[in-house]
Structure formats: C-alpha cells, structure tokens
Structure 1
Amino acid sequence: MVSVWFITGASNGLGLSLALYVLKSGHNVIAAMRNPTRSAEAAKSIEAAGGKIFQLDVTRPQDEIFKAIETAEAIYGRIDILVNNAGYSALGPAETFSEREIIRQFQTNVFGPIYLTQAALPGMRSRRSGTIVNLSSVAGQDGLPTCSLYAASKFSLEGFSEALSREISEFGISTLIIEPGAFRTNFLHAMEVDENSIPEVYQGTAVDQVLNKFKAAAGNQIGDPLKAAERMFEVIMGEGQGGSLKGKILRLVLGKDAYSRITAKIKKQQSDLEVAREVTFSTDL
C-alpha cells in the first residue's frame, strides 16, 4: 500500500535525504519547507521525483499549524506518517542566551512538532493507523557544553514523545524517536552561535573547546545521511535491514558516535541510581 508522508525541514539534510528516498521507494511525499524559493534546488529535486512542495514555517501559532495540516491532508486525502524533522541548534553559554533565542529554539524544536502532532492525530485516530516520527538528537540524551538550549529542546521533545507513545498506541498509532549522531549534512554549518557572543571569561573553557570542535567537524562528520534515510524508512515501514525493529523500539539511535555517547550516559545514570539508593529509599513513609 502506498503511504503518504508529511516531512518538515525537507529543504536539506536528513529531511531532504528521507524525502527523496521515500519517493524512490514508491510512496507519496508532502515536503514542507519554510522558504521553497530560497530552497529552490531542493524543491526542484523533490518535485522531479514526484513529491509535493508545501510551504510551512513550524514556528507559526497553533491555529495556523492546524489549518496548514488540513490543507496538506487534502492533497492526498490523509497523512499516514508525520516526520517532525525541522530543527536547528542555538549554541553558547547557558547564561547568555537572549529571550528571543530561547523562544525561537523552543518554537522550532518543540512547539512546532507538538502542534503538528496534535493536528495530524485526529485523522490517524479515525483510521486507527499512523506513525509519528520525531527527530531528536544524541543531544536529546546527552547534553554537551554550549548545547544547553538545544539539549533542553530535544529532552523536551523526547519527553513529549515518550508520553505520547503511551497515549496513542491503543489507537493503532505508533511513535518513533530518532536520535542521530553527527551526519554529513549542513547542520553544523547552520548552527547559530549566541547573538551575545562568547564572553571573555569562557575563552579556553569547555564551552570554547566544544565550539571549536564543532567548527572543525563541519563537513567531516562520519555519518552518511543517505544511509540514515534508508534505515529510518526501513524501521518505519518494516522493510529491509531495519524492518524487524518496527513496533519494537521507541528510540532509534543512528551512528556509532551517538551509540557511544548514549551508552556512557546510561551507565552514569545507572551508577547514580545505585550510589544514591540508600538515600533514595530513605524518603518513604
């Protein structure tokens, strides 16, 4: 059966790779972009492959997002798979982010996906089928210096997704959180450094070191976005190498680097639990 995919942030990176792979596999794609004119090359490639381009700014108010989904659903009569991929990272010391930066980070990475999910769920629920795919990050499990705001947004998206999965599974709707590591896309080039710049006191600190590491890594990431798109598609559709995971996992980690970081994080959490066990148990009546 041919499925209908709605993919945000389809103008570049993993969103573009996934859109093209889904189309190549014979399914329908509504590719959402904030500015199709500015992303003309990506839009042209998607249209050439048979996809539909849809202009959408995920930071718009809830009512506008709901109307946008109504319009999108009318294209093919439904949305089977919603992929909340649009996102970016604001970087800098936690203490210096402006209110504008904080709001925009959460509007893009959290509020947008929540509103889109709310809008798509009634149709999926009425058909007793559908999939919500939320693109998180390794930062949604392990926050690095400079990434406090980005990690906060991805931790939030993961919390929302985890609770959501327990609410909608009985309606035949599945939820999948994707946690990519570093992939060779424009993501690092597009990251925004705190508009207040880095205070001198942070020069040479962990914040400075991580920022320099990100700059050096841009264009040299080990992850292949085409392979990531293929694995995501397989797990979502239940086909190919990743097909056996369909319906069995909530989180899909992509990349050896992400696996290593998340594994270390889990070990630290387990250690904290065990070390504090006596104190933890001491608070019961």
Structure 2
Amino acid sequence: MAGWITWAGSAHFPLDERGGVIEHPVRVQARGRKLEDLKHLEQAGAAILQLDITDGQQNINDTIAKAISIYGRVDVLVNNASYISIGTWEDLEYGDFLAQFDTNVFGTIKVTRPLLPHFRQRRAGTIVFISFLSGWIGHAGCSAYAGSKNCGRSLAGNRTLGIKTLLIEPGRFRTKLLSKNKMKAVISTIPEYAEFSKTRVATLSKEDQAQPGDPVKLVETILDLVRQEGITEGREVPFRLPLGRDVYGDMKTKCEETLKLLEEWKTTIRSTDLEE
C-alpha cells in the first residue's frame, strides 16, 4: 500500500516489535497530546504531530490539514485514543462521564470528520475504530468506559463512496490502558460499594502489563485486514472483528444468552405491533 497510516491519539500500540515504524512503503504518522511521547517513532522514521482530541474542532481541522500536506494524502486513519474511568454510577460525577465521552467518543468524531472530505473526494480511504470488549459486556464498575466504547461501535457503521470502515473489538491486550496515566479510578465512599470498589481497582491495577494479549500481533492483524494481505487472502474482510481469546469466550456466551432470551420471549417480543 502506498501512502501512509495516521495513528490518532496516544500510541498505545507499538507499530512493530521494536515500537517503531512498519516497513516501507507504508509511511506512518503518529499524533498525540505530548510530542515527547512520540519521539521514538520520529527517530524510527515516522512523522509526528501534536494533537489533543479534546481541543476545539478548528484546531483539529488545522492539524488534519497539516497531516495531509506532509505526504499529500491519507490512506488509513486509526482511531485509538482512549482512557478508562473506573467507578460506580453514584461515585462518578457528571463531569467524569463527560470527560470519558469527550475523549473516547467526541474526540473520535472530531478527528474523523475533517478526513471524510479527503476520503470522499479520492473515493478511497480506510477508517479503523478501536472498541473494546466492555462495549459488549458492560463490565461492572466500568459503566462510563463501556458506554463510550458501545458508542464507538455505533460510529463505525458507514461504508460508502469508496470509504472502508473496520471495527476492531479487542479484549485484554498488554497496552498502557490500565496504567496510572490511563486509568482514572474513583474509590467509593459509599459503604455499600466500598469493598467492591477497592477490589475492582486493585484487580485492574494488578492486571496492568499482565494482560494476555500481544499488542504486536494485534497490530499485525489490523495491518493485514487494512491491506487485505496475509490472513485475509481469499477471505472477505469483515466489518467487525473481535480479537483476543477472552473476547471469543465472552462474546460467544453473550450471543448464546441473547439467542436464548429471544427464543424464550419470542411471543412477547413479537406481540407489540399495532393491531390491523
């Protein structure tokens, strides 16, 4: 594939096993809030730009325009910026929910929109959305994060005018999502939730850098899907692809439970039409 891939938001995933740039001819841009966090990618040959996806739309538009000007076009946008809020509904303030959605949902919208005219005019381009298992399951104590990731699943539904979309729904991969900088935890002061809250945060903290998924394999799979090479040869690229052993088991269980519910409640579910 000629052209380049732009990695929106903080680079949670290394771009190769050394944390550098995928081999030529793919050219990579990485964008994040802090340029110093992306210097290792620049040293490996990537172009880097500063971008805070919670900025105003005009600032983001200007950065996207600059990004397009560097190589003349964009082929792929990877929406990867994210962090996770931990806390019960009663403990999280409205501002906590707003901040979670501002990054995980509205930030994605603000970065994607200015690239759509570029893709539409070229009748080409791929947008990759990174969701998460919580968008399916709604894990306890992660309602703000799960809600934002469920919204992300809905954003990825458009495939028109030559623009391709790909929704990746990973499980627990060894990224920095559960690090101190990415996990914003509110310990409950409500007696009924106190023990659950402490245990939940402690469990997630221990899982940081102990997750089973290999992020390099995740990126390699995404690249195969985008370039329609490797694992995709002779197969149609799906719109949505879960990745991770834990995802397979949890999603399969969720689907089976849903099918069972539909069958057991079929009569009631289908009984709500207006009478002719």
- Fold match, TM over 0.5? yes
Partner secondary structure for residue 35 of structure 2: coil
1:234 maps to what in 2? Answer: 224
**Would the aligned equivalents of 2:15 and 2:21 in 1 still touch at CA under 8 Å?**
no
**Alpha-carbon separation, structure 2, partners of 1:76 and 1:59:** 25
**Alpha-carbon separation, structure 2, partners of 1:18 and 1:274:** 46
Partner secondary structure for residue 223 of structure 2: helix
1:25 Cα offset (Å): 4.6
In structure 1, which of residues 178, 181, 191 is the aligned counterpart of residue 183 of structure 2?
Answer: 191
More helix by share: 1
Gapped regions of structure 2 (runs ≥ 5): none
Partner secondary structure for residue 78 of structure 1: coil
2:260 maps to what in 1? Answer: 271
1:32 maps to what in 2? Answer: 31
Moved over 6 A (4+): none
1:179 maps to what in 2? Answer: 169
Q: Which string of whole-angstrom CA distances, capped at 9 and with x for unpartnered residues, describes residues 79-135 of structure 1?
A: 110100010100110222112211111111000111211111101111111101011
1:222 maps to what in 2? Answer: 212
When residues 188 and 35 of structure 1 are mapped into structure 2, their CA distance, relative to the original with a 3 A threshold, is: same
CA RMSD of aligned residues (A): 2.1
**Would the aligned equivalents of 1:9 and 1:16 in 2 still touch at CA under 8 Å?**
no
**Alpha-carbon separation, structure 1, partners of 2:266 and 2:91:** 36
When residues 184 and 215 of structure 1 are mapped into structure 2, their CA distance, relative to the original with a 3 A threshold, is: same
In structure 2, which of residues 201, 210, 223 is the aligned counterpart of residue 211 of structure 1?
Answer: 201
When residues 244 and 155 of structure 1 are mapped into structure 2, their CA distance, relative to the original with a 3 A threshold, is: farther
When residues 72 and 7 of structure 1 are mapped into structure 2, their CA distance, relative to the original with a 3 A threshold, is: same
1:179 Cα offset (Å): 0.9
Aligned length: 272
The one-letter amino acid of 1:170's match is T
1:177 Cα offset (Å): 0.7
The answer to whether residue 99 in structure 2 is matched with residue 104 in structure 1 is yes
Gapped regions of structure 1 (runs ≥ 5): none
**Alpha-carbon separation, structure 1, partners of 2:66 and 2:203:** 42
In structure 2, which of residues 143, 152, 156 is the aligned counterpart of residue 157 of structure 1?
Answer: 152
The one-letter amino acid of 1:23's match is I
The one-letter amino acid of 1:203's match is A
1:46 maps to what in 2? Answer: 41
2:60 maps to what in 1? Answer: 65
**Alpha-carbon separation, structure 1, partners of 2:60 and 2:265:** 44
Greater CA drift, 105-114 or 262-271: 262-271
Partner secondary structure for residue 94 of structure 1: coil
Give 1:81-96 correspondences, 5 Å limit: 81-96=76-91
**Alpha-carbon separation, structure 1, partners of 2:143 and 2:203:** 16
1:217 Cα offset (Å): 1.6
Give the TM-score normalised by structure 2.
Answer: 0.91
**Alpha-carbon separation, structure 1, partners of 2:59 and 2:18:** 24
The one-letter amino acid of 1:34's match is R
Using the aligned pairs only, state the percent identity.
Answer: 35
**Would the aligned equivalents of 2:88 and 2:188 in 1 still touch at CA under 8 Å?**
no
**Alpha-carbon separation, structure 1, partners of 2:24 and 2:183:** 31
1:26 Cα offset (Å): 2.8
Give the TM-score normalised by structure 1.
Answer: 0.88
When residues 276 and 229 of structure 1 are mapped into structure 2, their CA distance, relative to the original with a 3 A threshold, is: same
Q: Which string of whole-angstrom CA distances, capped at 9 and with x for unpartnered residues, describes residues 227-279 of structure 1?
A: 1111111111111124555x531112111011111111111222222222111
When residues 170 and 253 of structure 1 are mapped into structure 2, their CA distance, relative to the original with a 3 A threshold, is: same
1:209 Cα offset (Å): 4.1
In structure 2, which of residues 265, 269, 274 is the aligned counterpart of residue 280 of structure 1?
Answer: 269
Greater CA drift, 46-55 or 143-152: 46-55
In structure 2, which of residues 184, 193, 201 is the aligned counterpart of residue 202 of structure 1?
Answer: 193
